[in-house]
């Protein structure tokens, strides 16, 4: 059922958004994009619309993306099995080439194209460009899975200065030029920290941090780093949420003001978070004010 709104209601919505538009104008917001919001075509279009709108009102948006499901699907097509260790993809030389092809090629350029179709100006980058993400081998058992040693954000800043939305695929290189698969949450945290971003928004497939992972009504709307560490100890933050929250804490410690973990499956969740009183997901800060 379609819901029509009056011009007065539209004006009221815009008026309520005005303080937030002022707050974020000229500020850097890094968005880590993945999960179901990346697979579902309708959600993908809505995420791109949100990003274009933020860019048009003066927010310096940086989009950092992964693409695990598409990598797995491509590996299947070439007859190669995906093997995981501690949640990370074991990456030999051939797999690293597939990762590069899928992330820096297919996914990156399709997102750039979609942003352009929605009215934005976008340009794709990978961690290989200008040695943007330098790394070393994280664990020999994992092969070419990278541990980030240095981030060079100059290419991103150059694109922002020229009015583009940088779209960053998370492949990195070492000093010898070997290509590495990089965890997208980690890459987004390092990039946001290096840019001292106003916010890092991490889109996931859950509402945020829940006190009871089976009950969405137990969402924790805000916590500081000290409280997050206590939630690790009590087991409330567990499983796949552990590395995500660790990345969020790392981003805060490297200079990001606020980090949001939220459900990318909610339509226009980025706009709800940035331009309304309601907000979305769980906000992590250094210290509560």
Active-site option among 124, 185, 258, 263:
185
185 is catalytic: yes
Is residue 123 within a helix (H) or strand (E), and if so which, with residue range?
strand 122-126
What residues have CB less than 8 Å from 216, skipping those under 6 apart? 207, 210
CA–CA distance, 161 with 265 (Å, rounded to integer): 31
106 is catalytic: no
35 is catalytic: yes
Edge to edge, the sheet with strand 199-204 lists 122-126, 165-169, 60-65, 28-33, 199-204, 258-263, 282-285, 222-224
CA–CA distance, 58 with 64 (Å, rounded to integer): 19
Q: What is the dihedral of CA 69, 238, 133, 169, to 10 degrees?
A: 30
Active-site option among 50, 244, 263, 281:
244
Active-site option among 34, 66, 67, 68:
68
215 is catalytic: no
**Which SS3 state, helix, strand or coil, does residue 121 take?**
coil
Active-site option among 34, 35, 120, 143:
35
Centre a 10 Å sphere on the Cβ of residue 68 and count the other Cβ atoms it contains: 19
In the block, residue with structure tokens 């995981």: 84
79 is catalytic: no
* Active-site amino acid positions: 32, 35, 68, 185, 244
């Amino acid at each position: 059922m379609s819901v029509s709104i009056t011009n007065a209601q539209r004006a009221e919505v815009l008026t309520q958004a005005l303080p937030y538009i002022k707050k974020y104008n000229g500020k850097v917001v890094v968005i880590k994009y993945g999960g179901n919001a990346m697979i579902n075509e309708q959600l993908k279009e809505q995420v791109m619309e949100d990003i274009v709108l933020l860019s048009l009102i003066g927010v310096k948006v940086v989009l950092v993306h992964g693409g695990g499901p598409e990598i797995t699907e491509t590996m299947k097509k070439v007859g190669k099995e995906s093997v995981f260790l501690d949640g990370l993809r074991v990456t030999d030389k051939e797999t690293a080439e597939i990762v590069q092809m899928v992330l820096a090629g297919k996914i990156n350029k399709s997102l750039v194209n979609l942003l352009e179709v929605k009215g934005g100006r976008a340009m794709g980058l990978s961690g290989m460009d200008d040695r943007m993400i330098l790394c070393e081998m994280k664990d020999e058992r994992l092969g070419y899975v990278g541990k980030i040693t240095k981030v060079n954000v100059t290419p991103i800043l150059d694109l922002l200065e020229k009015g583009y939305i940088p779209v960053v695929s998370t492949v990195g290189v070492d000093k010898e030029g070997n290509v590495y698969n990089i965890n997208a949450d980690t890459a987004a945290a390092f990039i946001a920290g290096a840019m001292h971003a106003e916010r890092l928004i991490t889109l996931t497939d859950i509402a945020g941090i829940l006190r009871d992972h089976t009950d969405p009504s137990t969402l924790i709307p805000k916590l500081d780093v000290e409280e997050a560490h206590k939630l690790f100890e009590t087991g409330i933050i567990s499983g796949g949420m552990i590395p995500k929250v660790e990345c969020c804490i790392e981003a805060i410690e490297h200079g990001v003001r606020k980090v949001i973990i939220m459900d990318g499956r909610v339509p226009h969740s980025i706009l709800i978070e940035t331009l309304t009183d309601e907000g979305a997901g769980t906000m992590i800060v250094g210290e509560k004010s």
